[in-house]
Amino acid sequence: MENFESIILRWMCLFDEFKNIECSNTKHLISSTSFKQFADDVFCLKCSSALSTDDTRVYNTIKVNYCEFEVLKYEDLYNEDNAIYACVIVLLHALLKCTNDKFRNQLSERMNNEEQVLLANFLEATQSLLFTKQNISEALLLISDSKHTCINVSEICSNNDTPIKSKSMRRSYLQEFCQSPKSQSLINQEKEKLIIKLTEDYKNECEENYKLAENVKYFKDLNTKLSNKLEDKDKILQILKDEIKEYSKPNQSPECLKVDSDLIIKKLNRDKIDLEMNCNELKQQVTELDKKHKDLNGKFEKKTLDYNNLILMFDNIENENMMLKSNLKLFEETIQKKDIEIISLKDELCNKSITNNPTNISGQETNAMSSNTLFNELSCLKLEEITHDKEKYRHKYKSMKKDLSNVSISINIIL
């Protein structure tokens, strides 16, 4: 795999994220901040931020999306062979499975036709396989030994500074490959995986929001009870203070009453001290509960924002569903038009065959027959062309109907 490092580096540096950085090798590339951001944009399944640091984020993200990833720990990711392997994994996912077309479009715009053929052959060799080192190495060797390409790999790698702009065309070779049914099937599988993940996240967020709401209600009730108790304690404390003040007044009672009065005052003073301590503890508890209440309100607001983002994403999926229905209706109308043209041509051919009956041909009509035969041949060719167009639209109709059915099933699951 080391023999192909330069061409892998070349392909990676054609993406927008790496156009302002200079990388001499893949180890330098995957260590950059741009590569970490690129990996986050490419993969739909993200690793938990609580379990990752900046150093481990790329490794954990790839591992979450590909269980067959053969690097056992993130420290090994930065040796030469594993760095190339990680770059190829991210490149293949961006071109074969990513739901965002911008990565495929960037390479289509910046590669010439021959380089697109080389890359498409590599994608075709890997799209039905697990992304293991063995499979990737065999695919690279296959395209380097292929007799169907005339690309000079060393020439491609030497032009690593300025992107190659493809010639003006309807669609590039790489775009044709990425829009083939097999390639679109992989992208649709990734969309289904994303919908399932969003559905699961949505359910988890709803459950967590419900629990947070219950906790907020519980702490509000507890706060109210403690506040009422604190008010009662303050009232009792004031009553005791008044009694102490009353008993502390000079009294012309006998000596025995004076002794009893002193004992009562001491007891009341002790009760006063105890009540003041209890009051301070209750105030501290109320302060702590207020702090927890604020924290819970902050979490609840954050979860509400996440919930609104999920609702917006579901609206986008619904819009895509409506667009698929519109395209489906357009294909139905096109097929009906082709059917009408075929019937018209068949009727015209039938009429021509009747008028060209051999029993009615005179010597003067022989030349007209040859011209009619030429017309019949042209009509047959046109009939075949229209029939071919009809079959092509029928195939697109079936594919679009299948995609629409898959999206409808996914939305029903979410709802």
Give the pLDDT band of residue 168 (cuts 50, 70, 90).
Answer: very low
With respect to residue 342, please indicate whether it lies within any of the assigned structural domains: yes
Is position 148 within any domain? yes
User: Between residues 409 and 82, which one has the greater pLDDT?
Assistant: 82
Q: Which of 182-191, 301-310, 344-353 has the highest mean pLDDT?
A: 301-310
pLDDT value, residue 351 = 81
Q: Is 141 found in the same domain as 53? A: yes
Verify that 147 and 201 share a domain, yes or no: no
Q: Are residue 387 and residue 295 in the same domain, yes or no?
A: no
157 and 203 in one domain?
A: no
- Does 185 fall in a domain? no
Examine the pLDDT at 346 and tell me if it is beyond 70.
Answer: yes
Q: What percent of the chain has pLDDT over 70?
A: 79
| Residue 210, domain member (yes or no) | yes
Q: What's the chain's average pLDDT? A: 80
Pick 286 or 155 by higher pLDDT: 286
Q: Is 398 helix (H, G, I), strand (E, B) or coil?
A: helix
Confidence bin at 252 (pLDDT 50/70/90): low
- Per the model's pLDDT, the better-predicted residue between 76 and 168 turns out to be 76
Query: What is the spatial distance between Cα 59 and Cα 77, in angstroms, rounded to a whole number?
Result: 7
pLDDT, tens only, 229-249: 888 888 888 888 888 887 776
Mean pLDDT of 33-38: 90
CB 244 within 8 A of CB 272: yes
Whole-angstrom distance, CA of residue 91 vs CA of residue 89: 6
The last residue of a domain, from among 119, 149, 179? 179
Fill in the amino acid letter for 284. Q
Q: Provide the token pair at 415.
A: 């709802």
Measure the CA–CA gap between 277 and 281, rounded to whole angstroms.
6
The pLDDT of residue 171 = 59
- Same structural domain, 124 and 12: yes
Instruction: Kindly indicate the confidence band of residue 354, based on its pLDDT and cuts at 50, 70 and 90.
Output: confident
- For residues 308 and 321, membership in a common domain is answered with no
85-89, 149-153, 215-219, 361-365: segment of lowest average pLDDT = 149-153
pLDDT digits (tens, 9 = 90+) for 95-137: 998 888 899 999 999 888 888 899 999 999 888 888 888 988 8
Interval 200-206 mean pLDDT: 88
Evaluate if residue 336 carries a pLDDT over 70: yes
Considering 179, 211, 231, which residue would you say is the last residue of a domain? 179
One domain for residues 18 and 130? yes
Residue 186 lies in a domain: no
Query: Which residue has 């390639």 as its token pair?
Result: 183
Residue 157: inside a domain: yes
Mean pLDDT calculated for residue range 78-92: 92
pTM reported for the whole predicted model: 0.49
Which pLDDT score is estimated for 161? Answer: 43
pLDDT of 329 reads 84
pLDDT number for residue 401: 72
How many structural domains compose the chain? 3
Question: With contact defined as beta carbons under 8 Å apart, do 65 and 94 qualify?
Answer: no
In angstroms, the first-to-last Cα distance of the chain is 46
Average pLDDT estimate for 176-190: 83
**Whether residue 362 is found in the same domain as residue 259:** no
Question: Mean pLDDT throughout 309-330?
Answer: 85
Confidence at 350, pLDDT banded by 50, 70, 90:
confident
Residue 101, domain extent: 2-179
- Any domain includes 150: yes
Looking at 179, 199, 226, which one is the last position of a domain?
179
290 in any annotated domain: yes
Contact 197, 317 (CB under 8 A): no
For residues 296 and 208, give the distance between their C-alpha atoms in angstroms, rounded to a whole number: 12
